[in-house]
Structure 1
Amino acid sequence: MFVNSMNFRELRFARAMKFTIHEINNRTDLLPGITIGYQIYDSCAEVAMALKLAFQFANGMESFFNNTDSCVKSAAAAVPALVGDSYSISSITMTRMLAAALVKLVKYFGWTWIGAVRSDSVYGNTGMASFLKAAQEEGICVEYSEVFYRTEPRSKLERVANVIRRSTARVIVAFLHEGEVRLLLEELTRQPPPPLQWIGSDAWIVDPEFLRFNMCAGAIGFGVPRSVIPGLREFLLDLSPAQALKSPLLTEFWESSFSCSLKGSSEGARECDGSEDIRALQNPYTDTSQLRITNMVYEATYAIAHAIHGVICNDTQCDKSAKFTPCDPSILNTLTYVNLTYLTLAIIQHIQTCFKVVKCPLPLPFFVFKITMNVLHLSNVFQVPRSVCSESCPPGTWKAVQKGKPVCCYDCIPCAEGEISNKTDSLNCVRCPPEFWPNTQRDECLPKPVEFLSWDDTLTVLHHILSTQLQCCVTVLSYILV
């Protein structure tokens, strides 16, 4: 009996690296006369294991595990470069960049009042921390920020779901892994909240499984777009039982895929008889229709090759005797300036039973992100929702922040007598000059009208009488003083 514990998608990543290195080694314009070697190890999706292997590589240590978990010094030189773990928890730079891009996307649609849910992992905590910091700088307020992990008790998941149901924010940013999104959506389905606009992180937004959840309709986010790598599919399928036996990893793949044993390597299983057809398999290893992360492996390997070429090669030849030190700064500096075409993100939108993808090329370095197109007004499918804590205060009023709430929550207070505000969301009102007074709406100061008195007006007559009497009194007083 075979228990499929292998991640076939991860195996495709590893084989894609081998394919890329073979392609580089067969080129005459890149590292001519130089053959690149490689070692591939399984980190088992554990950060500690990934870091341990990285240190071993950098220090020239060959991985040799035994009961004491020790390692033995290898005679080989330290490797000049590493292609990081495929999981974002170990390669976090992409996560930070996507968090900044998501903030720009939220701001683009005018959403200033959002909810946030993250995985209680390095991926979720780091990604959300970057997002929240950038959101605060952009004036975006967070009504709630919840965290959970898929192995926690169900009561924790129910509590998070209830927070979402009670919230007034209509936009929710989810930095979650696929499994946690699935659990959360299934819980919310039991008692659906009001319609929400989901903003997805790269870990789940590209997964077509979530198209089956109606509440995810219209979800948007950034992901790495699918690409085409010429020749990769044929390389992946060019595998025979004899070739599989040369690698324990490929042996496990073959036996797991076809539920048979290669030359008795598994007790109690039928022997593979040669009738197994790898081209008939339908699993993540053979699926090359969505080459996103696979293409990043391809690009990363080429980037390293170009960096090494820049250090040891000139226009005509390469220095085969070149030696590298651990964490060689010359490789790092050259890698920084490798001129790859561009890094491309895709704005992914879930529309009913399919994805809508808008590609956004980001020239490196990609610290500044700008949406230069009318990306996704959800036209003809959904209406863009509004998600604000308080509506804008019109002219004639001023914003008074509600006590104990974020700055996005405020009351609109009418201007006092004699004061106006002539802008939306004014922080205060100003008093009109003495010769002016406010209009009815208290958004403009108008000149006070000038009134002239006529000679036959009662007020004019009284004024003259009083003025004459006062003049007489003054004259009499002057006589007495003399």
Structure 2
Amino acid sequence: MSWVSLLLTAWSSRAPSLLIVVMVSRDVGLRVGLEGVQTSMCSRWGSRVEEFNQGQDGDVVIGGLFNLHYRPPVIDQEFIKPPFYNPCTGLQVETLKAAYAMEFAVEEINRNPLILPGVKLNHRILDDCSLYPWISYLASCPCLSDRHRFPNFFRTIPSDVYQAKTMARLALLFNWTWIGAIVENNDYGLLAIQAFQEEIKGSGVCLEFVEAVITETIEEDAKRAATTVQHSTARVILIFCWYTDVRELFIQLAKRNVTDRQFLASEAWSTSSDLLQNVATLDVARGVLGVAIRSAKIPGFKTTLSLCNGRETLEGVQNIFTDTAHLRVAYNTYLAVYAAGHALHSLLSCPDKDSSPRDNSSTCSSPYNITHKELLEHLNKVNFTTPNGEEFFFQGADIPAAYDLVNWKTSPDGSLKLVLIGRVDGLELHLNKTSIQWTTGSSQVPISVCSESCPPGTRRANRKGEPVCCFDCIPCTEGEVSNETGSYQCRRCPFEFWSNPAHTACIPRKVDFLSFNETMGIVLATGAVSGVVVTTAVFVIFLCYHNTPVVRANNSELSFLLLLSLKLCFLCALVFIGRPSVWSCRLQQAAFGISFVLCVSCLQVKTIVVLAAFRSARPGAGGLMKWFGPGQQRGSVCFFTSIQVIICTIWLSLSPPIPHRDLGFQGSKVNLECAMSSVLGFAVVLGYIGFLACLCLLLAFLARKLPDNFNEAKFITFSMLIFCAVWVAFVPAYISSPGKYSVAVEIFAILASSYGLLLCIFAPKCFIILLRPERNTKKQLIGR
């Protein structure tokens, strides 16, 4: 910012004095020409400059060198001769007010008996366009905090580092991640934007562009910067420049009709009434949000500014000079004088005469023997409470950071006014967000992003070769969620959970099993029940016609037992449907294994009976059937079945199937199934059924050419071919089917093989019994 400072030096007069030299190298505050303000200002204000130059004597004189007038920039830029500077012109009202604040502070200290008792403090103020100082009320360059380079420097304004950090925090607060910047091409602008970039590092905020401007070439620079702003996608623009340069920039933006940008103002121009009152740039400047030098009141100061010659009236006068409600530069000057006064007080105070000799070893310092070294030592230790009740002390060269947050609002008459909307203490923001009027004229916070924040259910994916603020939103994969806006990655759901359809939350997985309520379960259950009904119907038919030759042929007892086993096969299919439990898992495999062995055993014994009957008809084989009579047939069935019972008992006793929650492949579903704890047990049960089926098929195949009317072997052959084909196809289908579909495959195999046996063996007999009764005679059965 402007370099405005206090220089401690000797003053050549009858008494040693303290000179506060103040220099401004650029415009500070508002500049108003002397001729233009005479009509609205007290006539005495301008003439006071000459009175300041005369000064007064005292025990200690504090001298102030203020930039009361403005020095225009260099005109000649051809570099062929020494540059020519215009003379200083134009009274700077804010600086004049600061000079008055110095005078007021000196007089206030003299009236205070607790500060410098017995020592008269006076002042002398001189006007100059520039010098480099030691104690400042406006020098905010971060470089001045370096005590190695500037060991004797103090200031009553915070370093620009803090306002840069404040702006960064405002950007984060309002989620502005895509920002443009225009800075002064000097230490003020470059160091400030550097501090801003350090503060936003790793926070997801990016700078789309940084344009540097120079006061000497501001017209061309402002055109270039305005064009950049016009074509940028950033809606928030940060500006670290002098107010005169901002004025030229706003003029260029107004020419381009760029009125939709939100500007963040540094304290160099955030309170500029010149910009606030510029009609040509009202549409551009509306809604400016800025960091300003903290404001305060100086009790009694307004009375000092109102001293006139008695003929003027200040009623109705609206002028920044008489506005003491929000003193900024003047208050910093006020604090600087008080800091000097308290340092002098500490230096000139005599030790307590009641203290011990050791503590009273030093002597009183004299106002006429003050050295710079002594005064600087006491300035480093200054700690006092201002008349406003504010605690003041130096932290190295600096004071604790404190700022005002201001907003440029539109008044009912269409003009802009400066409104205080918050403050900054250290790095704590105290902001009334609801009172802000944005550049759009509404209370809706502007959006300035390169890419819209990724909604919940997606994650950010950076675009190659572009800033981190520019990204794409990728939907989370199945089983992953993101429940926050702008997530960088999706989170995997816990094992028992799955992502909802929007991928915003993990929900418990749905338990999935083959139930009676779903279509597949209903179809299979209907098939099983239908099989039971048909088998029962056949059983009733055979029972009603049990004395007929067709029923009695080939051992009717085995036929009834076969029908009973087929009914059990159909019924066991129903055990596979429904929520698996400990007992259902054991029962379904045992019922399946025993029912089918009983069924195949009956068929096998039937086939053996056919073979034995026709073998006994041969000469010398008449006694064969007596070795395979009804008792032996029943015993064979029981023997074959008991083996399966033993296998199932051992299997279910040692390692039975148990309910298991399978999470591996069903995604949002948990497949509840009966897991085979011992695959070997299931393989033995299935293998034994397959062994009996193959043996039965072989025997039936051998008996297929025996006389037709007595021979069931042909139908048994067909039925066992279907049975074997079904169960051979079952094995790979069962292994490859996921979840409940493996259960459905097993049920289908049970139903298909059961229907195959029922139809192949009993359908021809039922056809004769019901539709061809003339063929249901002994003559028809024994004849060829």
Q: TM-score, normalised by structure 1?
A: 0.70
Q: 1:133 to 1:431 in 2, by over 3 A?
A: closer
Partner of 2:228: 163
Counterpart among 380, 386, 390 of residue 333 in structure 1: 380
Structure 1: gaps spanning 5 or more residues: 55-81, 241-274, 477-482
How far apart in 1 are the matches of 2:408 and 2:474? 41
Counterpart among 316, 336, 339 of residue 300 in structure 1: 336
* Higher radius of gyration, 1 or 2: 2
Aligned residue runs from structure 1 range 118-267, under 5 A: 118-136=183-201, 138-152=203-217, 154-193=219-258, 195-211=260-276, 212=279, 213-224=282-293, 227-232=296-301, 235=304
SS at 1:411 equivalent: strand
1:388 and 2:449 aligned: yes
Q: 1:433 to 1:234 in 2, by over 3 A?
A: closer
SS at 1:456 equivalent: helix
Aligned residue runs from structure 1 range 290-439, under 5 A: 291-313=327-349, 319-321=364-366, 323-326=370-373, 328=375, 330-335=377-382, 337-340=383-386, 341-342=389-390, 345-352=403-410, 353=415, 354-358=417-421, 360=423, 362=425, 366=426, 368-371=427-430, 373-374=432-433, 376-378=435-437, 381-432=442-493, 436-439=497-500
Aligned residue runs from structure 1 range 45-64, under 5 A: 45=130, 49-50=131-132, 54=133
How far apart in 1 are the matches of 2:128 and 2:197? 30
* 1:351 shift after superposition: 0.9
How far apart in 2 are the matches of 1:434 and 1:29? 75
Q: 1:374 to 1:144 in 2, by over 3 A?
A: same
Partner of 2:509: 447
* 1:220 shift after superposition: 1.3
Partner of 1:18: 103
1:7 and 2:91 aligned: yes
SS at 2:429 equivalent: coil
How far apart in 1 are the matches of 2:344 and 2:218? 49
SS at 1:371 equivalent: strand
The answer to whether the Cα contact below 8 Å between 2:482 and 2:491 also exists between their aligned partners in 1 is yes
* 1:21 shift after superposition: 1.6
Partner of 2:687: 470
SS at 1:425 equivalent: coil
Q: 1:12 to 1:404 in 2, by over 3 A?
A: same
Q: 1:473 to 1:133 in 2, by over 3 A?
A: same
The answer to whether the Cα contact below 8 Å between 2:182 and 2:210 also exists between their aligned partners in 1 is yes
The answer to whether the Cα contact below 8 Å between 1:119 and 1:148 also exists between their aligned partners in 2 is yes
Counterpart among 19, 29, 36 of residue 121 in structure 2: 36
Q: Which has the higher contact order (CA 8 A, sep 6+)?
A: 1
Structure 2: gaps spanning 5 or more residues: 1-34, 36-86, 145-154, 354-362, 391-400, 516-524, 526-571, 578-587, 597-681, 694-784
Bigger mean CA deviation after superposition, 82-91 or 162-171: 82-91
How far apart in 2 are the matches of 1:423 and 1:152? 48
How far apart in 1 are the matches of 2:374 and 2:463? 53
The answer to whether the Cα contact below 8 Å between 2:177 and 2:449 also exists between their aligned partners in 1 is yes
How far apart in 1 are the matches of 2:430 and 2:691? 81
Give the share of equivalent positions with the same residue, in percent: 27
* 1:181 shift after superposition: 0.6
How far apart in 2 are the matches of 1:220 and 1:40? 35
How far apart in 2 are the matches of 1:276 and 1:102? 47
Bigger mean CA deviation after superposition, 83-92 or 214-223: 83-92
SS at 1:296 equivalent: helix
Q: TM-score, normalised by structure 2?
A: 0.45
How far apart in 2 are the matches of 1:216 and 1:153? 18
How far apart in 1 are the matches of 2:203 and 2:421? 24
How far apart in 1 are the matches of 2:483 and 2:423? 39
Deviations 1:17-71 (A, max 9, x none): 23322331232121111233556555624xxx31xxx3xxxxxxxxxxxxxxxxx
Counterpart amino acid of 2:430?
Answer: I
The answer to whether the Cα contact below 8 Å between 1:113 and 1:387 also exists between their aligned partners in 2 is yes
How far apart in 2 are the matches of 1:231 and 1:391? 53
Q: 1:344 to 1:447 in 2, by over 3 A?
A: closer
Q: 1:420 to 1:237 in 2, by over 3 A?
A: closer
Bigger mean CA deviation after superposition, 418-427 or 408-417: 418-427
The answer to whether the Cα contact below 8 Å between 1:83 and 1:297 also exists between their aligned partners in 2 is no
SS at 1:326 equivalent: helix
The answer to whether the Cα contact below 8 Å between 2:292 and 2:406 also exists between their aligned partners in 1 is yes
- Equivalent residues, number: 403
* 1:279 shift after superposition: 8.7
* 1:411 shift after superposition: 1.0
How far apart in 1 are the matches of 2:313 and 2:184? 36
Deviations 1:119-147 (A, max 9, x none): 11332223222223223365422221111
Q: 1:419 to 1:361 in 2, by over 3 A?
A: closer
Partner of 2:573: 456
How far apart in 2 are the matches of 1:131 and 1:160? 19
How far apart in 2 are the matches of 1:327 and 1:283? 45
Deviations 1:86-136 (A, max 9, x none): 455686734332222222233222222211111113322232222232233
* 1:316 shift after superposition: 7.7
